[in-house]
């Protein structure tokens, strides 16, 4: 082949290669140009948003929780400025090392570190985790100085819940604490607010949606180390609603003090005698370790803990609750931060259970305070009238059983007014047998017993008003006449709460309306269902209650209100908790005060004042307090006196 031919072939090959290479380069250039156009022009907004996401943290802003105030606008639950310390795992890197470094700057116990580590493994790495709240100024200063060396660690101002009245209103307000995993499962929106505190009991729980408010939203510009630079608020959170309660904090404090003191006097805690008593008494030690700061000397000189029980003061026209005291109580402030194990143990191991709200969840036999129910049922049914009399010799035989009156010598021949005045048991035994448990049950229901009242306190108990069907359904056996006899004096199966007893008394005092209790203050007089009680029957029962405090033989005649305040009407009750054993009788131990505390009778009193134009009703239960006339009646008198005097000043 000639050189000329070879040269032409070589030129053709080179030309094809050049074209292929040029075409390839053009294709690559076109692809790159198209991709650049797609990234920089066509998808500019998308990648700008992605860039913003790397630059901004989207956060949900917790709303300010609504306040709780009393009827005079005095603060019961509010919000105080606080500083919270967070760590974001995404920016912190090794969370364990970061926590170890933090623990050299501020106090971090092992329990807190373990909890933060556990949450960092479970949740998203971009979500901040609360380490501590309520940082002190000194801790803030230390953190601020070293903040440049703590990646992913931030501190910011927030609001924490405070209860200025402390234990005084613990059972009413309840408390808030951090959101639980169960709450997040029920409402996933709460998971976006890891630092949110929600109500767990009391008003805080019952009115949670109103108090919580509506969250807001913000974008926080952060640098590469996760530190905030600027904040852009997208929309503001809406604060929760303030709630005005019917409670009068002055009355609440007064009633709390007189209930805890009972009929004893506080002692000087520093004296050698008191210190020896504490050292020798395990129960006193438990009381003091749980935060108790008062001890008493009882009538036989023994050093004891304060009285426990419940008191309710209600407005008989509106149903507003001016005082709701359950003793012992607890300080809700300890729950707003992370509850320490030792504090929880102290509350749970307290011998008298301060976490129990005795007003709504304490179940007690009403004793003789139930006798008004029996009397009204019998009078309305036409079984008895004001002239009907029964003889009391101190006991009554029924079959093979003997039922005793509290007064061993008997009250003689008495009518219903005298039976209420003197609290004659035998009279009511006779009346109940003739009236029947069904009529008694129906009257108890009308007066508010045996049902949840619906007040804004979760965990309220309904109590028990027994009858034929209830006995068969719960015990599988029929009702007996002997059980009617025992129920007639408010014992046996009959159980009520102190709040129900206050409702019963308020309805008797009102006379025409089925008053319903309310913890929230009311601006107008509410509408209640008619009570439909016979005016004649009501007049007779009220006369009996009047004679309890005004009669010559009234069981509370020593504890009546002054005439200037209009006097009070009421009914005492003493409920036997444990029979006196033969050994105790032989040893001469028959008085309540001489028995162990848990074996003493409960003391009760219900009443209203003033007599002619009732305004307030009260119920008092003193656990193992002994006699209703000597222990509960003076407390009721003082509570009503204070309520009426407060009204006069207003």
Question: Is residue 607 situated within a structural domain?
Answer: yes
Name the average pLDDT for the chain: 87
**pLDDT value, residue 340:** 73
**pLDDT value, residue 529:** 96
Q: Model confidence over 175-184: pLDDT tens digits?
A: 998 877 777 7
Residues 460 and 551 in one domain: yes
Q: Model confidence over 98-146: pLDDT tens digits?
A: 888 888 888 888 888 888 888 888 777 777 888 887 787 888 888 888 8
Cis peptide before 401 (omega within 30 of 0): no
Q: Which of 271, 256, 269, 264 is nearest to 302 (CA)?
A: 264
Residues 237 and 326 in one domain: no
Q: Which of 488, 505, 496, 422 is nearest to 465 (CA)?
A: 496
Residues 485 and 621 in one domain: yes
Q: Model confidence over 533-560: pLDDT tens digits?
A: 999 999 999 999 999 999 999 999 999 9
Q: Is residue 64's pLDDT more than 50?
A: yes
Strand partners, 530: 513
Longest Cα separation, the chain: 156
In what helix (H) or strand (E) does residue 273 lie, and over which residues does it extend? Answer: helix 272-280
Here the CATH number for the domain that contains residue 236 is: 3.90.1310.10
**pLDDT value, residue 53:** 47
Tell me the pLDDT band of 185, cut-offs 50, 70 and 90.
Answer: confident
Tokens found for residue 565:
């305040």
Q: Is residue 190's pLDDT more than 80?
A: no
Report how far residue 519's alpha carbon sits from residue 596's, in angstroms, rounded to the nearest whole number.
36
Question: Is residue 276 situated within a structural domain?
Answer: no
Kindly give the residue spans of alpha helices, DSSP state H, lying in 437-497: 437-446, 468-475, 481-487
Question: Is residue 255 situated within a structural domain?
Answer: no
Here the CATH number for the domain that contains residue 324 is: 3.40.710.10
Neighbours of 607 (CB within 10 A): 33
Residues 455 and 532 in one domain: yes
Q: Is residue 259's pLDDT more than 90?
A: yes
DSSP string, 94-112: SHHHHHHHHTTTS---HHH
Average the pLDDT over 377-397 and give the result.
Answer: 96
Tokens found for residue 169:
């209103």
Please identify which residue in the block is written with the tokens 């804004």: 456
- Looking at 211, 244, 277, which one is the last position of a domain? 244
Higher local confidence (pLDDT), 32 or 208:
208
Question: Is residue 555 situated within a structural domain?
Answer: yes
Report how far residue 92's alpha carbon sits from residue 374's, in angstroms, rounded to the nearest whole number.
72
Report how far residue 261's alpha carbon sits from residue 256's, in angstroms, rounded to the nearest whole number.
9
Q: Which of 324, 377, 313, 323 is nearest to 506 (CA)?
A: 313
The range of the structural domain enclosing residue 466 comes to: 307-339+351-649
**pLDDT value, residue 99:** 85
Residues 381 and 458 in one domain: yes
* Listed range (59-73, 294-308, 579-593) with the worst mean pLDDT: 579-593
Total domains in the fold of the chain: 2
Higher local confidence (pLDDT), 59 or 48:
59
Q: Is residue 240's pLDDT more than 90?
A: yes
Higher local confidence (pLDDT), 285 or 413:
413
Please identify which residue in the block is written with the tokens 């009245």: 165
Tell me the pLDDT band of 308, cut-offs 50, 70 and 90.
Answer: very high
Question: Is residue 211 situated within a structural domain?
Answer: yes
* Listed range (42-56, 209-223, 412-426) with the worst mean pLDDT: 42-56
Burial of 165 (0-12, 13-18, 19+ CB in 10 A): buried
> Quick one: what percent of the chain has pLDDT higher than 90?
58
Average the pLDDT over 394-400 and give the result.
Answer: 94
**pLDDT value, residue 93:** 79
Residues 177 and 325 in one domain: no
Tell me the pLDDT band of 592, cut-offs 50, 70 and 90.
Answer: confident
**pLDDT value, residue 44:** 65
Tell me the pLDDT band of 586, cut-offs 50, 70 and 90.
Answer: low
Question: Is residue 322 situated within a structural domain?
Answer: yes
pTM metric for this prediction:
0.85
Q: Is residue 26's pLDDT more than 90?
A: no
**pLDDT value, residue 183:** 75
Report how far residue 377's alpha carbon sits from residue 442's, in angstroms, rounded to the nearest whole number.
8
**pLDDT value, residue 50:** 45
Tell me the pLDDT band of 348, cut-offs 50, 70 and 90.
Answer: confident
**pLDDT value, residue 315:** 98
Residues 374 and 481 in one domain: yes
DSSP 246: S
Question: Is residue 19 situated within a structural domain?
Answer: no
Report how far residue 636's alpha carbon sits from residue 549's, in angstroms, rounded to the nearest whole number.
12
- Looking at 219, 244, 269, which one is the last position of a domain? 244
Average the pLDDT over 388-416 and give the result.
Answer: 95
Residues 81 and 227 in one domain: yes
Q: Is residue 488's pLDDT more than 60?
A: yes
- Looking at 223, 244, 265, which one is the last position of a domain? 244
> 624 vs 521, 597, 614, CA distance in Å?
33, 6, 30
Residues 189 and 312 in one domain: no
Residues 170 and 315 in one domain: no
What lies within 8 Å, CB to CB, of 31 at 6+ separation is none
Residues 87 and 160 in one domain: yes
Report how far residue 624's alpha carbon sits from residue 192's, in angstroms, rounded to the nearest whole number.
49
**pLDDT value, residue 585:** 54
> 289 vs 77, 282, 285, 351, 495, CA distance in Å?
26, 11, 6, 11, 32
Residues 399 and 530 in one domain: yes
**pLDDT value, residue 583:** 64
Question: Is residue 68 situated within a structural domain?
Answer: yes
Higher local confidence (pLDDT), 151 or 508:
508
Tokens found for residue 485:
């006899």
How big is the chain by its Cα radius of gyration, in Å? 36
User: Phi and psi of 304, rounded to 5°?
Assistant: -135, 170
Q: Is residue 459's pLDDT more than 60?
A: yes
């Amino acid at each position: 082949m000639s050189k000329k031919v070879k040269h032409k072939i070589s030129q053709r090959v080179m030309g094809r290669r050049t074209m292929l290479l040029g075409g390839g380069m053009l294709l690559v250039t076109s692809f790159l140009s198209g991709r650049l156009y797609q990234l920089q022009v066509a998808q500019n907004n998308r990648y700008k948003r992605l860039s913003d996401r790397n630059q901004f943290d989207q956060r949900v802003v917790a709303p300010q929780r609504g306040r709780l105030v009393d009827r005079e606008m005095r603060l019961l639950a509010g919000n105080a400025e606080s500083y919270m310390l967070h760590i974001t795992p995404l920016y912190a890197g090794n969370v364990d090392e970061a926590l170890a470094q933090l623990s050299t700057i501020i106090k971090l116990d092992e329990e807190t570190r373990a909890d933060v580590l556990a949450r960092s493994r479970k949740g998203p790495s971009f979500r901040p985790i609360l380490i501590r709240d309520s940082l002190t100024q000194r801790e803030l200063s230390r953190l601020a100085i070293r903040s440049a060396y703590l990646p992913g660690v931030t501190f910011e101002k927030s609001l924490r819940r405070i209860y200025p009245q402390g234990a005084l209103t613990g059972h009413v307000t309840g408390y808030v604490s951090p959101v639980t995993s169960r709450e997040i499962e029920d409402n996933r929106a709460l998971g976006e607010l890891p630092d949110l505190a929600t109500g767990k009991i009391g008003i805080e729980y019952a009115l949670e949606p109103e108090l919580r408010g509506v969250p807001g939203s913000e974008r926080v510009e952060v640098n590469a180390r996760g530190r905030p630079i600027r904040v852009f608020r997208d929309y503001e959170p809406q604060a929760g609603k303030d709630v005005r309660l019917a409670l009068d904090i002055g009355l609440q404090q007064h009633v709390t003090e007189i209930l805890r003191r009972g009929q004893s006097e506080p002692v000087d805690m520093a004296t050698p005698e008191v210190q020896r008593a504490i050292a020798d008494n395990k129960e006193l030690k438990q009381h003091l370790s749980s935060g108790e700061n008062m001890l008493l000397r009882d009538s036989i000189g023994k050093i004891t803990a304060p009285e426990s029980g419940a008191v309710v003061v209600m407005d008989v026209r509106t149903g507003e609750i001016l005082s709701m005291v359950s003793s012992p109580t607890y300080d809700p402030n300890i729950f707003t931060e992370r509850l320490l194990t030792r504090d929880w143990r102290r509350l749970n191991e307290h011998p008298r259970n301060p976490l129990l709200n005795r007003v709504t969840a304490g179940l007690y036999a009403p004793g003789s305070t139930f006798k008004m129910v029996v009397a009204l049922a019998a009078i309305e049914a036409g079984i008895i009238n004001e002239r009907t009399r029964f003889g009391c010799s101190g006991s009554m035989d029924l079959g093979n059983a003997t039922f005793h009156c509290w007064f061993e010598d008997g009250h003689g021949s008495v009518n219903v007014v005298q039976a209420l005045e003197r609290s004659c048991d035998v009279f009511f035994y006779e009346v109940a047998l003739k009236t029947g448990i069904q009529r008694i049950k129906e009257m108890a229901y009308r007066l508010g017993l045996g049902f949840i009242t619906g007040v804004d306190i979760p965990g309220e108990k309904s109590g028990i008003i027994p009858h034929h069907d209830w006995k068969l359904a719960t015990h599988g056996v029929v009702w007996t006449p002997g059980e009617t006899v025992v129920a007639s004096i408010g014992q046996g199966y009959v159980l009520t709460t102190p709040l129900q007893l206050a409702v019963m008394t308020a309805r008797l005092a009102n006379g025409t309306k089925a008053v319903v209790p309310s913890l929230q203050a009311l601006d107008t007089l509410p509408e209640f269902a008619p009570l439909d009680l016979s005016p004649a029957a009501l007049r007779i029962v009220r006369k009996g209650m009047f004679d309890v405090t005004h009669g010559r033989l009234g069981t509370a005649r020593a504890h009546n209100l002054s005439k200037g305040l209009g006097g009070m009407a009421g009914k005492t009750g003493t409920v036997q908790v444990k029979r006196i054993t033969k050994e105790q009788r032989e040893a001469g131990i028959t008085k309540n005060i001489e028995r162990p505390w848990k074996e003493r009778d409960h003391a009760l009193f219900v009443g209203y004042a003033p007599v002619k134009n009732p305004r307030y009703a009260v119920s008092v239960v003193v656990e193992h307090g002994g006699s209703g006339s000597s222990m509960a009646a003076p407390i009721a008198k003082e509570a009503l006196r204070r309520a009426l005097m407060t009204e006069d000043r207003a």
